[in-house]
Amino acid sequence: MIKAVVTDIEGTTSSLSFVKEVLFPYARAHLADFVRSHEHDAAVKTLLEDAAREAGVAPVTGQIITQLQAWIDEDNKATSLKSLQGLIWEAGYRQGDFNGHVYPDAVENLKAWKARGLDLYVYSSGSVYAQKLLFAHTEYGDLTPLFSGYFDTHIGGKRETAAYAKIAEQLGMPAQQIIFLSDIKEELDAARDAGFATVWLIREGLLDPKAEHRQVNSFDAIDFEALY
């Protein structure tokens, strides 16, 4: 019996285009000014040091900015970059430059599952801070009260089975009672290998009845009972 839902964001609760066409370009456009304005803030200074160490570059502001911009262009999942992006996006949300995109079917079903007593969690490569910002600033209002917790790459890579095992351990329940929702097969493979039930979101394109994971095109089609 499913007792908890762990969901991805990009391509699952929210459109890939919002992330790739709104959030990433916004962060890139504002990154240099943000870093130069906040490089002496304790939290930002630590993230810049982490980025320099991970990239193997000198801890020089200009070089770090260049590296961070290159990572954005490469869609690199570096934890330091994701954390900095979250800080930059905060200003955008608060200024009303954009709202966090969430599919209507995701909103309706997340609310229904919460009302049924299921615990809801988010696991995304974006920082926990960025996750909370997105769900706090949607056209449906603040959705953060729906979630009992958030996970990012601090717990491990999303294609690593060990990360899902750690999530189950932190939730304090058998992996078989947790379902993971994602649009990426390799992430679903890792979750399945850790014992999770899985559902593969295909927001665009045809469903494959022979796929290794049950595929659906919206949250409306997710049937927990049919997984077993």
pLDDT tens column, 75-97: 888 989 989 998 999 989 999 99
Instruction: Give the chain's domains with CATH numbers.
Output: 4-15+101-227 (3.40.50.1000), 18-94 (1.10.720)
**Per-residue model confidence (pLDDT) at position 126:** 85
- Strand-pair partners of 123: 151
pTM for the model stands at 0.84
pLDDT digits (tens, 9 = 90+) for 182-212: 999 999 999 999 999 999 999 999 999 999 9
Task: Return the percentage of the chain with pLDDT > 90, whole number.
Answer: 86
Please give the order of strands across the beta sheet that includes 4-7. Answer: 149-151, 119-123, 4-7, 178-182, 197-201, 215-216
Angle at 158 between CA 149 and CA 144, to 5 degrees: 25
Mean pLDDT of the chain: 94
pLDDT digits (tens, 9 = 90+) for 36-53: 999 999 999 999 999 999
